[in-house]
Amino acid sequence: MEKEKISGKLPSECTTIIVGEEQSVDGARYLCRSSDFDALMAINVEVHRDTDDGQEEFVAKDSKFRCPLPKKALGYTGLPDYTYPGEWGSAGYNTAGVGMSSTETIFSSEKALEADPYVEDGLAENCTYNIVLPYVHTAREGVERLGALIEKYGSAEGFGIGFIDAKETWYLENAGGHRWLACRMPKDKYFVTGNQSRYRKYDPEDKENFLASADLIEFAEKNGLYNPADGEFDFHEAYSRDEKLDTTYNYPRVWGLQQMFSPAINNDVAKNTFPVFAEAERKISLADLRKAFRFHYDNTDHDPYLHSNGKEPYRPVSIFRTTQTHIMQVRPELPTAIGEVTYVAFGMADLSVFIPFYQGATEVDERYTYRANSESDDYSAYWTFRKIAALGMTDYNYFAPIIKKAYLELETEFDETQRKIEKEYLATCKEAPDNAVEALTAAGIAMQKRAYDFSKQLLNTLFTHLTKKVQEEYLFHGA
């Protein structure tokens, strides 16, 4: 997400990780992304209900984009920042069990944009979530709806968007104003990207694994973006941007995460030769994904926090202005209500805690839905977590170990709590489904409250340490 929003100050960018079910420890598929923008842009959880009488037109809050909507809409959850309520949902599941992560900012090349320019009042990143997720029943259907909207209205900017359900995971990258390519995630691979289009191979005859605008190759050939004499069509070469800034801002994240999961891959951090889909050395766990989104070239010369270097050229995965990070997990062998979970870390993942939100829960704790804004408050969940990270960053090497140790213990506690919650749900869902949903919702709220109360106490602990530090610096005892 590289556009400037209402504050007019900061660009927005993300890191995406997708894991196939044969690459994960638990046999789950994962669709994950950090949403990196402005630390002052508070995130508020939204819960929308199924409706037969929904809004019939979408009206964008920051452009002239408009489009009709079906009156019948599925319920869904979202994680918008406070400036886009009901619009930039970012991540969540609908009541049909389809998950969506929107969006990863990517960039088309200047030559591609000369042939097919972005449309100023076309489909922008903040519009994509709420006009797609409530109206689709499968991940594939999500790709098809989004692709049709891109072709009809044009894209206002570059973006990559993921969809996940009980059967498949798909990721779509747009190209220029009206074209796009989506690939089904291989079961035995993982995928990482940071603000770049990564796709290369495309087989228009393989409808099982590829979906795309009908003239994707033909248009590229006609406009000098692709020459068949040079070999097989390469989507990235034809449509995508590669510039010097990518070598420090984007490549290092892909390089670092692939080194984490696949240390045997021998890539040059300064060259875009990374495999699109890679195989991990060992199967990837939920804990591994939490660690990946906390990655900052830990304990190396490029670690900006270890060295207190805000000018470090290698952009880390975990940055202070992250507004939220989500890890969407789908375990098809379980009922959708508990098999689909979104783990959300509010604020900077490295100094935050991943909290589980179950697809089947019908409510969340009010501190998470409270309309927090760009000014700190003493009530909202977002600002509670944000204060901890802000204090931690004043002296990272002193405070971070305290914060990380505390939150690791809480995540371990939540892992055990979830096992109990899911066992209880399975024991009651067939005989008393309403009671099972009610208990699941209550258990989810209890974990959310636990994270909130735990963080309030952690904040007091940190201020106790800070008071001691300040006193040691300015003791002036004199006796």
Active site residues: 14
SS3 161: strand
Any residues with CB less than 8 A from the CB of 243 and at least 6 apart, and which? none
Any residues with CB less than 8 A from the CB of 256 and at least 6 apart, and which? 295, 297, 317
Contact 13, 2 (CB under 8 A): yes
In angstroms, rounded to a whole number, what is the distance separating the alpha carbons of residues 346 and 332?
26
Q: Which residues on adjacent β-strands are paired with residue 155?
A: 123
CA distances from 259 to 224, 252, 253, 275, 436 (A): 36, 10, 10, 12, 42
Q: What is the full DSSP assignment across 9-29?
A: S---EEEEEEE-GGGBTTS-E
Give backbone dihedrals phi and psi of 131, rounded to 5 degrees, phi first. -100, 0
In angstroms, rounded to a whole number, what is the distance separating the alpha carbons of residues 240 and 379?
44
> In b/e form, how buried is each residue of 298-320, taking b as 16+ CB within 10 angstroms?
beeebbbbbeeeeebebbbbbbb
The residue type found at 427 is A
Give backbone dihedrals phi and psi of 193, rounded to 5 degrees, phi first. -155, 150
In angstroms, rounded to a whole number, what is the distance separating the alpha carbons of residues 86 and 130?
7
In angstroms, rounded to a whole number, what is the distance separating the alpha carbons of residues 258 and 266?
10
In angstroms, rounded to a whole number, what is the distance separating the alpha carbons of residues 11 and 33?
16
- C-alpha angle 410/417/359, rounded to 5°? 100
Contact 87, 60 (CB under 8 A): yes
CA distances from 306 to 296, 298, 309, 367, 393 (A): 9, 8, 8, 33, 11
- C-alpha angle 169/172/174, rounded to 5°? 180
For residue 136, what are its two tokens? 């689709």
Positive or negative torsion for Cα 177, 179, 185, 189: negative
Q: Which residues on adjacent β-strands are paired with residue 126?
A: none
For residue 82, what are its two tokens? 């406070």
SS3 44: coil
